[in-house]
Amino acid sequence: MKSSLRLLTLLLSLTLHAGEPIARRAGELLEAHPEARVIAGNDGWLFLASELRHLARGTDWINPETPPEHAHADPLPALRLMKAQLDELGIPLIIVPVPAKASIQHGDLPGTPVPPPARPMPFSAQLQEEGFHVVDLTALFSEAKFMTQVYCKTDTHWSPRGAELAAELVAETIRELVDLEELPILEISSEGFADITFQGDLTSDGDPRETLMARRVTRNDGEALVQESSPILLLGDSHTLVFSEGGEMHARDSGFLEHLALNLQLPIDRMANKGSASTPPRMSLFRKAARDMNWLENKRAVIYLFTARELTESLNGWRELPIAPQFR
């Protein structure tokens, strides 16, 4: 029964978005592999099925005329509430949706070449129309992919180089919005590029490992780059952890957070959830603010960074939550 409903949803998506080539291709691949978690592309590229489901939706989910069938499926009310409450505190909110790998590496999908999707992302355009600060990485990644690898072939995440490029662009946005001149800066430096080898999360044990180049970033005094007292709060999913915290996140000190710190010459505070960034990190934000409101009031900017597929594929939904007890 579930498989039949899933197929019906995909066919409906194809009908509604016949003019969107990337949506059509994603729907076709899902229809051809209805039970697959991972779909193999060209030249060793692997794509997550849930990310393709997100792309197959097209744009019908953005600001829908009628409420979604599932409660909290629409991300906009939760983001609007978060922005409004941070605005009251004078803290800019910067939204950073990480584009779906297939939307950038569309030429590596199976089958005939697919034209690139819209630039910028339609959801980013919607947020910008409503006054949000958005860092849309689509154009940056679409151009950079011809010179470097911005996503892992065998993993759901961006590559170390992709994280580094994203950090540079986000740092520019922070400087435009926030006066950091009077803040004490740290001496933070990076090493040269070195190979890292890891087992991508789209592979199985025994499959070939992937090797990419990464630059390690550290404080010259040896202290940690993650600090609760930082004026910059990074909120998000495993894209804020990959190549940063080691273990199943592949490497240490080479991820988005470290390169953001390098560009700003500041430590960064972080609240991340590996499974979902839709609701859990905002719950952590509320709990921390409930214990120490001064901690939140001392932030100069909040960066909310998450994979774009979370906008439609979140298991937790986008619950409307206050950022602190005073907003309940």
Cα 41 from Cα 62, distance rounded (Å): 28
Q: With respect to residue 51, please indicate whether it lies within any of the assigned structural domains.
A: no
**pLDDT tens across 56-113, in order?**
999 989 988 887 778 899 999 999 999 999 999 999 999 999 999 999 999 999 998 8
SS3 22: helix
Q: Which residues pair with 196 in a beta bridge?
A: 212
Q: With respect to residue 79, please indicate whether it lies within any of the assigned structural domains.
A: yes
What is the residue whose two structure tokens read 């097209």?
Answer: 58
Q: What are phi and psi of 39, to 5 degrees?
A: -120, 125
Report the domain count for the chain: 1
Q: With respect to residue 29, please indicate whether it lies within any of the assigned structural domains.
A: no
pLDDT band at 149 (very low <50, low <70, confident <90, very high): very high
pLDDT band at 316 (very low <50, low <70, confident <90, very high): confident
SS3 98: strand
Q: With respect to residue 20, please indicate whether it lies within any of the assigned structural domains.
A: no
Q: What are phi and psi of 244, to 5 degrees?
A: -120, -45
Q: With respect to residue 178, please indicate whether it lies within any of the assigned structural domains.
A: yes
Residue with the bigger pLDDT between 253 and 116: it is: 253
Q: Which domain holds residue 95?
A: 66-327
CA 27 to chain centre: 22
SS3 301: strand
Q: With respect to residue 174, please indicate whether it lies within any of the assigned structural domains.
A: yes
Q: With respect to residue 134, please indicate whether it lies within any of the assigned structural domains.
A: yes
Q: With respect to residue 125, please indicate whether it lies within any of the assigned structural domains.
A: yes
**pLDDT tens across 235-248, in order?**
999 999 999 999 99
